[in-house]
C-alpha cells in the first residue's frame, strides 16, 4: 500500500509535467458559444464535449455513405446498414431486436451508429476492435444481411459508378478492405456535436435548464457517471449488467446474447459483461439495453439504479436524470437529430 501511495504521489507530481493523452486531445472551440463562465470549471466534468469537426477523407465519406445505404450489401438486396441504423431514428431501428433477412429477428438490440467512432470497441460485447472490423459482423451474419464478401464485391464491381468511385480513393478498386474502410470512414463522420449539454460544457450556462442541471448533478452523485463518462458518455469500458443486483436472475430466460463478453473471452468474470453504451442522443434510441427490455428512458434509468447502482431512486430524481439525458441530443450535419 505504501508503495502505491508513493507511486500515486509521484504520479500526481509527474502529471503536472507529463500531461496524459486525453488532456492533449484538442478541445474543440466553438465559435458561437461563449467561453466557459468564470466560477465553474467544466474541464473537470466527467463528460467531454464532442468535437465539432474531424479530419476525414471527404471522398471516402461520400463513398461510405453510399455503401451504408446500399442494399446490395445484403444477400437478397433487401436491406442495408441503414435499415437497422437509420440516421432518421437516432442511428437505430427503434426495435427491441433488429430484423434481418426475410424478417429474421436478431438476437440483440441495434446500438446507435451515431458517434460509434468514439467507442473504444464495437458491438455490445466489444468483439470488434474498430469500425472496420465491425463491418464484417452484420454484413456476413446469416440472420442480418447474410452476404458473402465475394458476392458483395462482384455486385459492386458490376456497378460502373462504384468502380469509378473506388478507383478515386483506392488504387486497387473494389476490395473487401476498401469497402470496410469507406464505411468506417463514413461512420466516423456520424458525430452529433453541439448538444445542449455540450454547449453547457463549453460554458453556455443557459444551454440547459436548472432542472436539467440538477438532473446532471444527480447523474453524477448516484454514480451513473462512473461508467457513463468521457466524450461518448459511455462507450469506453465494459461493465457487468447487474453489477450490484442480479439482473438476469430477476429477468429470467437467459439467452446466449445475454452472456455478453463471455462469448468473446470465455472468462467467467466476463459473464454478462457488456460494453457500457453511449448515452449520446439516448432520448432518440429506445428501447434500451442489449435486450431492448427498457421501453422508456425513465424505465432504463430506474433499472440502472436498481441493478447497477444498487440503491433506491426516488421518482423525482429519476425524472430529473431523464431530463438531463434529453440534453445529450446533438446535431448531425448542422441539423438537430
Partner 1 sequence: MKLTWIKIFLLGATVLALFAHLYTKSSSVKFAEHDRYERGLQRLKQLDTSFNVDVLKARYRLLNNYDGFAEQLRESSETLGDLRRIPVFVASAGQARLGLALTNFSRLLAQKQESIEEFKTQNSVVRNSLAYFPTAGSELVRKASVTPDGRELQLAFDELMRVILVYSLTAQEELEPQIQMSIGKVRAWADANPAHADADIVLGLVAHARTLLLRKPKVDALTSRLVSLPTGTEADAMLRTYQQEFARALQVTQTYRLALFLCCVALLGGIAWAIRALRQSNLHLEHRVRERTSELSGKNTELQTEIADRKKAEEERQRMEVQLRHAQKMESIGQLAAGIAHEINTPTQFIGDNTRFIRDSFGDLKPLLDAQTRLLAAAQAGPVPPTLLAELESAAKTADVDYLSEEIPKALGQSLDGIERVTNIVRAMKEFSHPGTTEKTALNLNRAIESTLTVCCSEWKYVAEMVTDFDVTLPSVPVLPGEFNQVVLNIVINATHAIADVVGDGSKGKGAIKVSTRRDGDWAELRIGDTGTGIPESTRVKVFDPFFTTKGVGKGTGQGLAIAHNVVVEKHGGTIHFETETGKGTTFVIRLPLQSASQERKAA
Residue 187 burial class via C-beta count within 10 angstroms: exposed 0-12, middle 13-18, buried 19 and up: buried
Residues 243-282 that bind partner 1 (CB under 8 A): 243-245, 269, 273
Q: Which of 99, 283, 299, 309 binds partner 1 (CB under 8 A)?
A: 309
10: left (phi over 0), alpha (psi -120 to 50) or beta: alpha
1 counts as binding partner 1 under rule CB under 8 A: yes
Of 237 and 299, CB closest to partner 1 = 237
Q: Is 187 annotated as catalytic? A: no
Of 48 and 89, CB closest to partner 1 = 48
CA distance 226 to 211: 21
3-state class (DSSP) for residue 91? coil
Nearest of 118, 115, 92, 131 to residue 285 by alpha carbon: 92
Please give the C-alpha separations between residue 146 and each of 72, 137, 157, 268, in angstroms, as whole numbers: 11, 10, 19, 31
**127 sits in which H/E element:** none
Asked if 222 contacts 317 with a C-beta cutoff of 8 angstroms, the reply is: yes
Q: Which of 114, 124, 216, 238 binds partner 1 (CB under 8 A)?
A: 238
Pick the piece of the chain touching partner 1 (CB under 8 A) from 135-143, 185-193, 228-236, 329-337.
Answer: 228-236
Which residues partner with 275 through β-bridges?
238
Residue 265, all three cell numbers: 473471452
Return the number of other C-beta atoms located less than 10 Å from residue 315's C-beta.
9
Total interface residues for partner 1 by CB under 8 A:
44
Q: Which of 152, 183, 227, 337 binds partner 1 (CB under 8 A)?
A: 227
21 counts as binding partner 1 under rule CB under 8 A: yes
Name the active-site residue from 70, 132, 144, 212: 144
Q: How far is the CB of 107 from partner 1 (least distance, A)?
A: 23
Q: Which of 28, 42, 46, 94 binds partner 1 (CB under 8 A)?
A: 46
122 counts as binding partner 1 under rule CB under 8 A: no
Pick the piece of the chain touching partner 1 (CB under 8 A) from 79-87, 234-242, 293-301, 318-326.
Answer: 234-242
Of 175 and 240, CB closest to partner 1 = 240
Nearest of 108, 78, 115 to residue 93 by alpha carbon: 108
Q: How far is the CB of 9 from partner 1 (least distance, A)?
A: 9
3-state class (DSSP) for residue 117? helix
Q: How far is the CB of 49 from partner 1 (least distance, A)?
A: 12
Report strand pairing: 331-332 vs 238-240: unpaired
CA distance 239 to 269: 10
Q: How far is the CB of 275 from partner 1 (least distance, A)?
A: 10
191 counts as binding partner 1 under rule CB under 8 A: no
Pick the piece of the chain touching partner 1 (CB under 8 A) from 14-22, 32-40, 70-78, 319-327.
Answer: 14-22
Of 203 and 223, CB closest to partner 1 = 223
Strand segments, DSSP code E, in the chain are 238-240, 273-275, 331-332, 335-336
241 counts as binding partner 1 under rule CB under 8 A: no
Q: Which residues are known to be catalytic?
A: 144
- Residues in the site for partner 1, rule: CB under 8 A? 1, 3-4, 7-8, 11-12, 14-15, 18-23, 25, 44-48, 120, 223, 225-227, 229-231, 236-240, 243-245, 269, 273, 308-312
Amino acid at each position: 500500500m505504501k508503495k502505491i501511495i508513493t507511486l500515486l504521489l509521484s504520479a500526481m507530481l509527474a502529471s503536472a509535467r507529463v500531461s496524459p493523452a486525453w488532456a492533449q486531445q484538442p478541445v474543440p472551440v466553438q465559435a458561437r458559444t461563449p467561453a466557459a463562465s468564470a466560477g465553474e470549471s467544466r474541464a473537470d466534468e466527467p463528460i467531454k464535449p464532442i468535437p465539432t469537426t474531424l479530419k476525414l477523407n471527404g471522398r471516402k465519406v461520400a463513398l461510405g455513405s453510399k455503401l451504408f445505404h446500399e442494399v446490395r450489401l445484403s444477400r437478397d438486396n433487401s436491406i442495408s446498414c441503414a435499415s437497422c441504423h437509420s440516421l432518421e431514428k437516432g442511428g437505430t431501428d427503434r426495435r427491441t431486436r433488429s430484423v434481418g433477412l426475410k424478417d429474421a429477428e436478431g438476437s440483440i438490440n441495434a446500438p446507435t451508429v451515431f458517434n460509434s467512432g468514439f467507442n473504444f470497441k464495437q458491438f455490445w460485447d466489444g468483439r470488434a476492435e474498430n469500425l472496420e472490423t465491425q463491418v464484417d459482423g452484420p454484413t456476413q451474419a446469416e440472420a442480418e444481411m447474410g452476404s458473402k464478401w465475394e458476392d458483395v464485391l462482384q455486385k459492386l464491381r458490376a456497378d460502373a459508378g462504384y468502380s469509378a468511385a473506388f478507383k478515386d480513393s483506392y488504387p486497387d478498386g473494389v476490395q473487401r478492405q476498401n469497402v470496410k474502410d469507406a464505411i468506417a470512414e463514413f461512420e466516423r463522420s456520424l458525430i452529433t456535436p453541439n448538444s445542449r449539454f455540450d454547449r453547457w460544457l463549453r460554458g453556455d450556462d443557459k444551454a440547459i435548464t436548472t432542472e436539467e442541471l440538477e438532473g446532471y448533478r444527480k447523474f453524477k452523485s448516484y454514480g451513473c457517471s462512473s461508467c457513463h463518462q468521457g466524450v461518448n458518455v459511455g462507450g469506453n469500458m465494459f461493465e457487468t449488467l447487474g453489477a450490484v443486483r442480479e439482473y438476469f436472475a430477476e429477468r429470467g430466460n437467459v439467452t446466449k446474447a445475454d452472456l455478453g463478453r463471455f462469448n468473446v473471452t470465455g472468462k467467467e468474470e466476463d459473464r454478462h459483461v457488456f460494453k457500457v453504451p453511449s448515452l449520446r442522443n439516448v432520448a432518440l434510441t429506445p428501447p434500451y439495453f442489449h435486450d431492448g427490455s427498457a421501453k422508456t428512458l425513465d424505465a432504463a434509468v430506474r433499472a440502472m439504479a436498481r441493478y447497477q447502482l444498487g440503491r433506491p431512486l426516488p421518482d423525482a430524481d429519476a425524472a430529473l436524470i431523464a431530463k438531463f439525458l434529453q440534453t445529450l441530443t446533438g446535431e448531425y450535419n448542422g441539423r438537430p437529430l
